[in-house]
Chain A
Amino acid sequence: MKRYLSIILSLFVVLSCGQPRVLELPLTSERKVLLGPQEILKVPLDSVTSLFNSLNESIIINGMPKLLIFSQNTNRLIQYDINSGLIERDVLFPKEGPDALTGIDFSSGMHYVNSDSIIFMSSSMGKIFLANELGKVYSKFDVLNDSIVLGSFDLRSQLAYRNGSLFVQSLPKRVGRNKSEFANRRLTISEYNFKDKKLTQHPLYFTEVYQEYSFSQQLQSVGFVFSKSLDRFIISYPLSDSLYLTDFKNYYESIPFKSNLVKRAFEQDSKNKEIAPERISSYYNWLSDAYIQLMYDESSGYIYRVARSGISHEQFEASDFYTTKEVLVMDGNFNVKGKISHSGSSLMYHFFDRDGISWNANFREFNMSRNNEDTLYFEKYEIY
């Protein structure tokens, strides 16, 4: 009998080896629920600018909050004044010639440093552009190389700037390379220095979970920002219950910042025949719970972390990507203030003002069901 049992047990172990695993994350005490939106704000769009512009940024100019949008449809950079809701600047970048921003598509990035230095990055072309607010591209940098691609696997890549260097997540190039070359890889942030044109990779040593499990590429897209006041980068991984503060040299600190929506994540099963190969990565991303976004208000020091639960197989098949979401709120002293429930719509835009944060209202409810794609609606939350 014992012999049979040991055979069955061995068989079970052999069969379970190599099977995709599920990462289970522990629960924590529930967060205080903060108030819902206090106001709905409107920002008008013109007849051709898309409602969905992944390249946008909340900026402060002369102490006033602005929203910067790069319209990929029309190659225009549009600056809105938040208080009036009006367009302050509308600059056209030509499609060809020295001022063209070529290859600004999936995984591209944009970061406003000042009116003379707006950084654009094309992941597909491996290029970084330095432009000014008048639409002049005054410097271009070629960052194409054989081993890595700059940018995360997402609609947009987050960019950060510190002391003449651009920081962006990088991923190993897979096409035409032996898998063993990056079998033990870690997630990395690349630093590109504009003066000496040197590219340095900073491995993120505190992400063991990504070495132990094989997750889809979307679940490896890191959210990160640079805090000038702390002189530290703040990093949020999709599958870590903590935030990390680091200088990419010898300092790092973990800060617990957990949502109970993030309970489990599925390893990618590339042998799953039910899903078309080109959708496999997206499928396991959407099935998993994850932290999907990090937002940082430099003037108040507040940190906002967006968590979402996974969707069902049936929802994925029906292209229904609405999911349960919440936004965790932490103050400048790293005290968790609570959480805000979210509609589940895509959180594409946000901006800060003296009262708190605003983000785009539910696109389905405010735009699609009203057949209105010419206005951006924002839910305003008074936090401070």
Chain B
Amino acid sequence: MKFINGFTAKIVLLFIFFLLGCGSRGESVNQDLIQDLKNLTAFDSKKHKVVLIMPSSGCSGCIAAVEEFVRDNKFPSLFLILTNSVSQKDAVYRLNLVNPLCDYFWDSNKTFYDSKDSEAIYPKIVYWNDGDWLNSRVVIVKPENPNAMVELWDYLINLKF
């Protein structure tokens, strides 16, 4: 009985450890991302309320949807980070950022692209919480989250009017 109790306890502990491990990887990625944003000189937390992090390769459908959104919507409160992309010239032309109404950052050092993160292939939206920036909300634009771009548009338009 004593053996069973000990064994069960170990299994439960292991299970909890795995559960915590799963959760903490995604959270720590987001925490790192928020910290990197906070440290980014080009990012103005007073002006920029939403950050859109756009890889140029990965989930092609998700990236195409975000690029289409950016071509049509350049709110001043939106801040773009173009990451894991080879050509700045191509990206600027593709997204119509020659004289943009919103600011963007060309992430040549891939600071905002963690190749070990399984969700790096998706664009990310950061709803910046300036009062409690560590609790800023990170939304992944992926097929399982089809309302991500509608929610973003609603948020930006409500900031405007």
Contact = CB atoms under 8 A, between A and B. Distances in A.
11 contacts: A50-B89, A50-B93, A51-B90, A73-B90, A73-B93, A317-B115, A317-B116, A319-B57, A371-B88, A373-B87, A373-B89
Give the interface size class of chain B. 10 to 19
A318 interface: yes
Interface in A284-319: 317-319
A368 B108 CA distance: 9
Nearest to B121: A276
A88 B117 CA distance: 48
Interface string B75-107: 000000000101111100110000000000000
Contacts of B108: 368
A366 interface: no
Interface string B100-127: 0000000010000001100001000000
Contacts of A51: 87, 89-90
A324 to B, nearest CB: 20
Interface of B: 57, 84, 86-90, 93-94, 108, 115-116, 121
Contacts, number: 29
**Majority DSSP secondary structure for residues of B touching A:** loop
B107 to A, nearest CB: 13
A319 B116 CA distance: 11
A319 B87 contact: no
A208 to B, nearest CB: 35
Interface string A31-60: 000000000000000001011100000000
A72 B85 CA distance: 17
Contact of A50 (B87, B115, B116, B121): B87
Contacts of A371: 88
B115 to A, nearest CB: 5
Contacts of A276: 121
Given A48-B93, A51-B89, A368-B108, 5 more contacts: A51-B87, A52-B86, A317-B115, A319-B57, A368-B86
A317 B116 CA distance: 7
Contacts of A48: 89, 93
A52 B90 CA distance: 9
A99 to B, nearest CB: 22
Contacts of A368: 86, 108
Interface string A350-371: 0000000000000000001001
Given A73-B93, A276-B121, A52 B87 contact: yes
